[in-house]
Amino acid sequence: MSSKSNLKLKDYLSEDGKLDLSILNLKAVPNINDIDDFSKLEGIHTLDLSKNHLTKLPENFGQLKSLKQLDLFDNQITNLPLSFSELTKLEYLDLKNNPLDDDLQAQAGKCLNKKECRLCAGKVLQYAGALKAEYEKEEAIKLKKKQANDRAKARKREKQVEQEREEKRLKRMENAQKRLLEKENQQKEKSENKNENNESKQNSATKSNNEDEEDEEGFVSQAIDGILNGLLFSLLIAFIWELYRNRQQSMNFRDFYKHI
């Protein structure tokens, strides 16, 4: 069974807008890997894909906006793409002999005649629209959740950045305080050393002054002692002189000095 990948659509397209691709053993819609060429056939109103081996339709199948009749009889299709709801002009749809899922089969019906195929088109379009709306709703919910998660992550990152910024600020303050404390300790140490030097110099000066005062006091004391000794000696001499002078025997001062 061939997929007819080299199928030229223009060979099967009639001038009145009918594209007949039935009984070609197709496994996929032609040019499925280059769907733009297929979807450019916007003017077709009838598409016959019956009696092939199709398992699905392209996701952008809904771009065939002018399509009014679609025959998918006797394929292997289970579901239709969400874009199928965009075929708003579709009036006829045949889905007989396809392994449709239960929900889609319930909407498609048996399609035994044209009337049932017309009903099938309306119900399936309505069903596809509901599926698309539900899908978009779920996607919107997912998007909101994603946006909420993104905002939460953004807030978390902002909080983390703010926390890191605050930690850096506190670290800078701590370092500044350390530097200030070190500077104060250095100044205090210099001041203490200066005070010790001044105290040492003052002690040296005081010691020198004390020594000078002691020397001066010693000199004065010695002078006073000498004066006192001289005075006592003079008084003693005067006293003895007075004793000898009162004696009966006369004695001059030279003899008295020799005598003493």
What is the maximum alpha-carbon separation in the chain?
Answer: 197
Tokens representing residue 41 in the block: 């056939």
Tokens representing residue 225 in the block: 């002692």
Output the CA torsion 160→165→169→170 (10° steps). Answer: 10
Angle at 109 between CA 104 and CA 110, to 5 degrees: 130
Rg (CA), the chain: 64
Residue 244: exposed, middle, or buried by beta-carbon count in 10 A (0-12, 13-18, 19+)? Answer: middle
Tokens representing residue 207 in the block: 């010691």
In this predicted model, what pLDDT tens digit does every residue of 55-80 receive, in sequence order? 999 888 888 889 999 999 999 999 99
- According to the model, what pLDDT value does residue 32 have? 42
Does domain 9-131 sit in CATH 3.30.420.40?
A: no
Residue 118's nearest CA partner among 147, 137, 90 is: 90
Buried-state track 6-19, b at ≥16 Cβ within 10 A, e below 16: ebeeeeebeeeeeb
Average pLDDT over all residues of the chain: 82
Return the percentage of the chain with pLDDT > 70, whole number.
79
Average pLDDT over residues 121-139: 94
Q: In angstroms, rounded to a whole number, what is the distance separating the alpha carbons of residues 23 and 31?
A: 17
pTM beyond 0.75? no
Residue 54: exposed, middle, or buried by beta-carbon count in 10 A (0-12, 13-18, 19+)? Answer: buried
- According to the model, what pLDDT value does residue 35 have? 41
In this predicted model, what pLDDT tens digit does every residue of 191-225 receive, in sequence order? 888 887 877 777 777 776 666 666 666 676 777 77
- Long-range contacts of residues 76-85, Cβ cutoff 8 Å, at least 24 apart: 78/104, 79/104, 80/104, 80/124, 80/128, 81/56, 81/57, 82/128, 82/131, 82/132, 82/135, 83/59, 83/132, 84/57, 84/124, 84/125, 84/128, 85/125, 85/128, 85/129, 85/131, 85/132
Tokens representing residue 159 in the block: 């909080």
Q: In angstroms, rounded to a whole number, what is the distance separating the alpha carbons of residues 101 and 77?
A: 9
